[in-house]
């Protein structure tokens, strides 16, 4: 009886090579698995399944992990308003850790002796997959044919031809990775430090010209509806907003950041719904949370986003921060009005029963209702007292 290997399979050149290598050269029984996190159509999923069986896998499985992806990851990225380096909504990195967890669970279910992925030795994904496999299935050996053999594209194609696989693996001008939390775009321009991506590189082209208004409904920090419609789930709400805002070509940018392996990386992306949701959610929070709630959320959320980006989703500290983030959302309920227009959006205002910007207490710069001028005089004297003493004792003044 042959040993089983579970392979994270996308249907591209690298994972197609892995199937044949593991089956023909290693003599393993290949169980391919595709983890859908909201980026595939039914037609695309069918095509990947057909490709897997044509290559000779013993069994192919499609796992729809979109709901789990939201509950275990995206929800906290929204609660934390996480944008890496103030720009990137972690579209690919968050997706990869979810996929790695699903692959590891599948390997356990089928009783695999090996687990494999098609990552090269040059990127972040190899670390994310390896670490999660080591944590979840430490007794299952990890195989990485592309990384270990350091093959060129041409060598992979020649190997597949040797086994009768004649498929037109044309190298796309731009590499696209699509998921519910954004689409990454890589190309020759992102390998430089100065070139922008051209308009045609983005999968979603501008097709709406007339501005539209949309109202986002949040309940305890989660997006639950748009305009006058309550969606069946937060996932459905994200998808509906993407369908509405994507044609405006909103949410495009290029992220520059530090990779797990120590080098700088640059990637383009489009993420209309994620960017709008995060900015709308953040605006609502600024109205309903206190100064120090906002401050500590900023500190912990930045750390959470970076640790997630580096594949450390299973670190127990992440559960601690998630509990904090969840607790901060108790009053993050209300409506946020957003204007959508070509290439841009604008958060126009909020409505919430928990709005701390209440005229009952005062109107900034105009009227004070719950304190007097004498109260402020005393407060100002005490609030600055230590600095006053410092300057008097040390005789220091501003130059």
Number of helical H runs and strand E runs in the chain = 14, 16
Q: Is the dihedral of CA 353, 354, 357, 358 positive or negative?
A: positive
**Percent of the chain, pLDDT > 90?**
85
Region 68-79: mean pLDDT is: 98
3-state secondary structure of 224: strand
pLDDT score of 362 more than 60: no
| 15 neighbors 143 (Cβ within 8 angstroms) | no
pLDDT score of 339 more than 60: yes
Q: Distance between CA 388 and CA 96 in Å, rounded? A: 54
pLDDT score of 363 more than 70: no
pLDDT score of 256 more than 90: yes
What was the pLDDT predicted at 364? 63
Q: Distance between CA 101 and CA 98 in Å, rounded? A: 5
Q: How confident is the model at residue 361 (pLDDT cuts 50, 70, 90)?
A: low
3-state secondary structure of 57: coil
Q: How confident is the model at residue 330 (pLDDT cuts 50, 70, 90)?
A: very high
Strands (E), the chain: 4-8, 29-36, 59-64, 114-116, 141-143, 175-179, 182-186, 212-219, 222-226, 229-230, 252-258, 264-270, 334-341, 344-351, 362-363, 367-368
Highest mean pLDDT among 43-52, 114-123, 363-372: 43-52
Region 304-327: mean pLDDT is: 97
Task: Name the pTM for this structure.
Answer: 0.93
Q: Distance between CA 218 and CA 133 in Å, rounded? A: 35
Task: Look at 370 and 308; give whichever has higher pLDDT.
Answer: 308
> Token digits for 202?
């983005």
What was the pLDDT predicted at 366? 64
Region 149-171: mean pLDDT is: 87
pLDDT, tens digit, 9 for 90 and up, residues 212-253:
999 999 999 999 999 999 999 999 999 999 999 999 999 999
Length, in residues, of the chain = 399
What was the pLDDT predicted at 399? 64
Mean model confidence pLDDT for the chain: 94
Q: How confident is the model at residue 337 (pLDDT cuts 50, 70, 90)?
A: very high
């Amino acid at each position: 009886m042959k040993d089983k290997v579970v392979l994270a399979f996308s249907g591209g050149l690298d994972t197609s090579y892995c199937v044949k290598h593991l089956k023909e050269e290693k003599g393993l029984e290949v169980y391919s698995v595709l983890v859908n996190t909201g980026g595939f159509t039914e037609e695309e999923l069918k095509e990947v399944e057909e490709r897997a069986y044509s290559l000779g896998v013993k069994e192919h499985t499609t796992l729809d992990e979109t709901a789990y992806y939201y509950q275990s990851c995206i929800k906290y990225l929204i609660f934390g308003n996480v944008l890496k380096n103030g720009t990137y909504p972690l579209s690919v990195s968050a997706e990869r850790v979810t996929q790695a967890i699903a692959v590891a669970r599948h390997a356990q279910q089928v009783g695999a002796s090996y687990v494999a992925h098609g990552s090269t030795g040059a990127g972040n994904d190899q670390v994310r997959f390896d670490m999660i496999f080591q944590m979840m299935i430490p007794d299952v050996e990890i195989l990485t044919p592309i990384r270990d053999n350091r093959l060129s594209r041409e060598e992979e194609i020649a190997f597949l031809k040797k086994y009768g696989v004649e498929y037109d693996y044309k190298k796309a001008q731009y590499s696209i990775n699509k998921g519910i939390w954004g689409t990454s775009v890589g190309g020759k321009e992102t390998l430089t430090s100065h070139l922008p991506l051209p308009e045609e590189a983005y999968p979603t082209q501008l097709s709406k010209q007339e501005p539209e208004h949309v109202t986002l409904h949040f309940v305890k920090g989660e997006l639950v509806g748009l305009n006058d419609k309550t969606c069946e789930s937060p996932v459905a709400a994200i998808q509906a907003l993407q369908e509405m805002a994507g044609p405006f070509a909103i949410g495009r940018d290029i992220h520059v950041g530090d990779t797990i392996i120590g080098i700088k990386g640059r990637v383009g992306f489009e993420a209309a719904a994620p960017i709008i949701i995060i900015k709308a959610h953040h605006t609502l929070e600024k109205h309903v949370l206190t100064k120090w709630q906002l401050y500590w959320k900023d500190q912990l959320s930045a750390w959470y986003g970076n640790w997630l980006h580096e594949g450390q989703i299973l670190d127990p500290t992440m559960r601690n921060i998630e509990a904090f983030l969840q607790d901060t959302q108790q009053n993050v309920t209300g409506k946020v009005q957003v204007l959508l227009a070509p290439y841009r959006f604008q958060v126009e205002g909020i409505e919430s029963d928990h709005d701390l910007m209440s005229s009952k207490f005062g109107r900034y710069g105009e009227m004070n209702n719950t304190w007097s001028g004498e109260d402020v005089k005393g407060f100002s004297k005490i609030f600055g007292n230590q600095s006053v003493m410092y300057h008097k004792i040390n005789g220091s003044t501003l130059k």
